[in-house]
Each structure stands twice: as structure tokens, then as C-alpha cells.
Structure 1
């Protein structure tokens, strides 16, 4: 959490925007034992007065004749919030410099990674996403909430091949759909590859959005939808859980109460002189809405090591999903639930990654001195040190508009 703490310490309201505007629904708050939700009343009041910050979630789109047959069958079989996935199917990612392919394929394999955004329908028909808590034994981002994923194994490995291989290693979901159908009655339907995001370790991260597609024999009874091959790899993760995708919408839409998220926050700041979004979503660890096949997995995280400020604030143990994972899930939620509203929105950092690659960064396994400076958040270090003034200004203006 070093970057989040550093940014909060070095930026105040005069140089960045901080909104702590959502503090959980009545259903989420009911899980808190006599917890008192403490919020910044001034900012909450300001936010409440600016109605243009708020929007209402549109109704889900209908299955049109032009929809891909396999996708239409998936939506028709599952119904409920799976209908919102039509928006994802229609979404056309915007890549660097209006390119037809992602910058992910233009950087060396040693700097490519991908994550699996695995969605499924919960008990109330809501879309949920599978998350993990990284093991304390890991070198990078230990203890962080993350999506299953990692680096590519070889140059020709695709985004989905990489993310599914990593998901098999981390949480036990086999990469072969025919195996999953035969043994467990479901498959992982690969839906969309998002634009590439820049990780703070200077990796290009491609989010791969997928959906757990149950066979028709499993659709009749929710109790039969049980994934028995989910497992915890102690060397990779200390816990596996799920949360509602809709709770990552930010700002919180009108007439929508957060299902499980206890608190959201948003910081608009800068990294290396480039505008940057820092989001945080706090969830309770113990959740009555969790599906059985995830609830059965023992949480191996240490209670004493992981105690947070929110634990004291709400009176329960919590998880804080922030940083890159939070930004990815926010963007996926925006596409899924608001549809065409987000088709022209820039997502990821494709243009920034392209500019860095053009000027000798993100080329080798070892980080350059410039990259190390930004990784360590060295004071005064700026992206303009490795590119022209014109390129830096263009990027700054580009990401200011997000």
C-alpha cells in the first residue's frame, strides 16, 4: 500500500480531488456490529449538491437479432444481470494512436501480463467477480487484493491464454473448457480483452473478462452450481472471494444502494506529472451473500497483520481493493452497466505505454533507472524526462480528460 499512502501524504485538496462519498448500503451496514460510518461531511455535502456527478443505471439491453448466437444463448439461459453483458460484447476498445491492435502486442513479452476478470451470477442474480488476496510471501504487492493473473510464459502466448493459465495455478480453474464441461458442468466463456493498463512496476496489464457459463442441467437449481475444483494455492494467494461488480460503479448512481461495499473513495492525483486515478473499495471479509463454493475455502490471511483503519471504523474485518485492480473493475463495471455511455471513454494507459516504449523504456526484464525512480515515487521524477515536451503535454491533456 506504499503508493496509496505516499500519494495521500503528498497531495492535498488544493492539488488533487478526493471524494469519499459512498459508505455502504443498509444491507452492507447491517453486517457491521454497531459500527458507525464516519465520513467527511463537508465533501459529502459538496458531492450531494453536484447532481451532474450522479447518473442512473440504464435498464439492461435486450437480445437483438444481430447479437452473436453463442452469446445470445448465454444471456437467454442465465437471464438476470447477465443481460448487461450485452454491453460488454458491443464494446469496442480504443487502442493507442487509433491502432487496430493493442499496445500489449507491441511491447516485449517480458513486460506483458494479463489478469482474469471472472464474472458469475450470485444468489440474487447479480454479477459478481472473483478476487484473491495475494500471499504475504510474494515479492511484489504482497497482501494486496488482486485479480488472478501474471506474466506471459512465451512471446506467442495470448492475453486469455496467459490469464487462464495463471488462474489455473492460483485458484484451480482449469484452462481447458472441455475438461470443465465434462467434469464440473460449466465453462469459462471468454468475452472481451480490455485495453492495456500500466502497472506501477512498468508492466503492460491486459484485463480479460470472462463469465462462468453453466450447462443447462445446472441452470435449474442454484445449489447445483458448485465449483468443486476451486483451490487455494498458499504460495500465490491467502484467500479467494467474490464481490458484486456493480459496487465498483463510481460515482455511485442515483437510486442505487451499494450491495456489500462499506466505503468508496476516489483520489484524482498525478504520477510522474501525468493525471492518475486512485480508487479504493472497502468490503467486509465475512459476507452472507458469498456463494458456497467460495465460502468453503479457508481464509489463510493473518488477522493481526491485516488489521486496518476500516476494521476499527466498521467494527468488522475488512478488505480494501485499491489501485490497479480497483481501476480495472471500475472500468469493467462502467462498460457493463452503462453501455454506450462508455464507448468513447478512454480506458487503460495504451498511449502512455506506447510513448514509453518508443523512448527505450519497458524493453528489458531489468528496470531502467528512470523506471526505478518512478516505482519508488522519487520526488521530482517525471515522465517528461524520457520523452519530448510535446509528447508529455499531449499525454497530460489526454489523461486529464478522463
Structure 2
């Protein structure tokens, strides 16, 4: 659970009743228990850098087999920063990765990245990375909960941190040109609707799953939101709106390979 679970006094004057009610609702959210029992060990390891749009599913539906090689998963966190749009809808801040990057260039992602030694928790990782990537001052964000971790394509453990931006006008995006080409926002509810969505069936060690993609256009710019980012946003929207998506998710019960190393990825 997030440590920063209260709205500060200054931000109260900016928060709408809807955002205050949402914060109260999310503070009471409890992630489902992990499917691992006490005798199972996590053997996941990761070699990637920044968290980007990759295939991923909740850790709670991902059992991990025992193995002589035991690794503590490397952690990362992403920020699901919500605010109230001009039309009264809930919106989430997203980024488009810099086109000059050598990996996953131009893909849509949530602000975030790997935990650093000085980070005290997932909240700090997510808000620190958001400041580094898009200039979002952590003092503007009220963290209200942390969803269950996801496992990325490279078997990195990613914690989705939900924060509320009460005063949208106070945030002036300043993208880090080395990492981010664009900052935009999208309606959160889009990720539990069946509109503008497509799915591709894939397979991992004999288990079939669906890779969801969402098309979104704003200010004459088209974005494709897919993979880990889409999976996290589907889950976040389900929690916020307290209803399941209007489509089949088809998350597999993964069977991990006997040996996991830095080259192990989901195809």
C-alpha cells in the first residue's frame, strides 16, 4: 500500500468532490492475494532499462515454478496520474517515448522506470521518474494506492502507482528530450470499453493469451497504446470504475521456463 495516502491541505482547495471521493475509494483498495504459496520461489530476473510498453500481466495470476536458481525480482514502478478533464471525465497522463531511443522508440508508456537504491518505496520511484521524464512535481500528486505488481515482457516486477493530480493547471509538462517526444492524456474509461480496441492472440510456453491494443487520437495525432501499458490501464480502469472490462482479457496461467536468465523474454 502506498505510504502517501492523504490529500495535503493546500491541494484540497483544488480537488473536486469527485476526486476527493475517488481518493477515499482507492485508499480502501486491497490488491488480490498473490497466487504463490509459501513454498514457491520467485526466480525472475530482468535486464531491461526503462519501463516501456511490453506484454505484462498481474503477478497475482502468474504462478512461478521452483528452481535451483533463485533471484529476487528487480523492481520498477509506473505512475497512473489521474485528473479531471474539462468535460468532467477522468483522464490519465501518458508519454510517447523519444524516437531517437535505441529500443521501443516511439511507443506509448506511463511515466516510470526502475527503482533506485535511494527510493524508499514504489511511490517514490514512480513520482521521481515522472519528474525526470515529464517535469511533474511530486508535490502536485497525491498517491492514493498501489495496484498489484505486473510482470513485464522481460520479467521485471512493475508496480502501478495511482496518484491524483488535483490542480491540472499547475502542471506544465517539460518532457526530457532524451526520453520523451510527447506528453498527452487519454480518458481512463476507454480502457474498459470495447471501442477502438483490437487484440492479437499470442502464445507463451503453450499458454495462449490476448495482447490488447487501443487506438487513440488527440489534436490530430494518433497513438497506439498496447502491451504492458494497456494491461496496466485495463486493470486501473477496472479498479477505479469498479467494473470489469467489456471484453475478454484472457490472461494465461504462466509456466515459467526451467532456467531464467537475462535473455528470457515473452514472445
Q: Check whether TM > 0.5.
A: yes
Report the CA distance between 1:210 and its aligned residue. Answer: 0.5
- Tell me the equivalent position of 2:135: 172
User: How many residue pairs were aligned?
Assistant: 230
- Tell me the equivalent position of 1:30: none
Report the CA distance between 1:148 and its aligned residue. Answer: 0.3
Segments of 5+ residues of structure 2 without an aligned counterpart are 39-57, 61-69
Greater strand share, structure number = 2
Matched, 1:361 2:260: yes
- Tell me the equivalent position of 2:187: 244
Segments of 5+ residues of structure 1 without an aligned counterpart are 1-67, 178-186, 215-224, 253-262, 287-315, 378-402
Q: Secondary structure at the match of 1:235?
A: coil
Matched, 1:133 2:32: no
- Tell me the equivalent position of 1:144: 107
Report the CA distance between 1:273 and its aligned residue. Answer: 2.5
Matched, 1:78 2:41: no
Instruction: Choose 1 or 2 for highest CA Rg.
Output: 1
CA contact (8 A) 1:138 1:236 kept: yes
Matched, 1:272 2:171: no
Report the CA distance between 1:194 and its aligned residue. Answer: 1.0
- Structure 1 156/77 Cα, relative in aligned 2: closer, same or farther at 3 Å? closer
Q: Secondary structure at the match of 1:324?
A: helix
CA contact (8 A) 1:232 1:239 kept: yes
- Tell me the equivalent position of 2:164: 211
Q: Secondary structure at the match of 2:239?
A: helix
- Tell me the equivalent position of 2:54: none
Work out which of the residue numbers 79, 92, 95 in structure 1 matches 2:30: 92
Root-mean-square deviation over aligned CA pairs: 3.6
Work out which of the residue numbers 239, 242, 253 in structure 2 matches 1:338: 242
- Structure 1 325/207 Cα, relative in aligned 2: closer, same or farther at 3 Å? same
Matched, 1:108 2:41: no
Q: Secondary structure at the match of 1:191?
A: strand
Deviations 1:169-226 (CA, angstroms, capped at 9, x unpaired): 1001123x2xxxxxxxxx2110111111111122111111100134xxxxxxxxxx52
Mapped partners of 1:337, 1:135: distance in 2:
32
CA contact (8 A) 1:282 1:318 kept: yes
Deviations 1:87-146 (CA, angstroms, capped at 9, x unpaired): 43332102423679x979x9636x211110100111011110000000122233211000
Q: Secondary structure at the match of 2:35?
A: helix
Greater helix share, structure number = 1
- Structure 1 321/348 Cα, relative in aligned 2: closer, same or farther at 3 Å? same
- Tell me the equivalent position of 1:322: 226
- Structure 1 228/128 Cα, relative in aligned 2: closer, same or farther at 3 Å? closer
Mapped partners of 1:164, 1:137: distance in 2:
24
- Structure 1 82/322 Cα, relative in aligned 2: closer, same or farther at 3 Å? farther
Q: Secondary structure at the match of 1:248?
A: helix
- Tell me the equivalent position of 2:50: none
- Tell me the equivalent position of 2:170: 227
Mapped partners of 1:83, 1:132: distance in 2:
27
Report the CA distance between 1:338 and its aligned residue. Answer: 2.1
CA contact (8 A) 1:120 1:127 kept: yes
- Structure 1 151/107 Cα, relative in aligned 2: closer, same or farther at 3 Å? farther
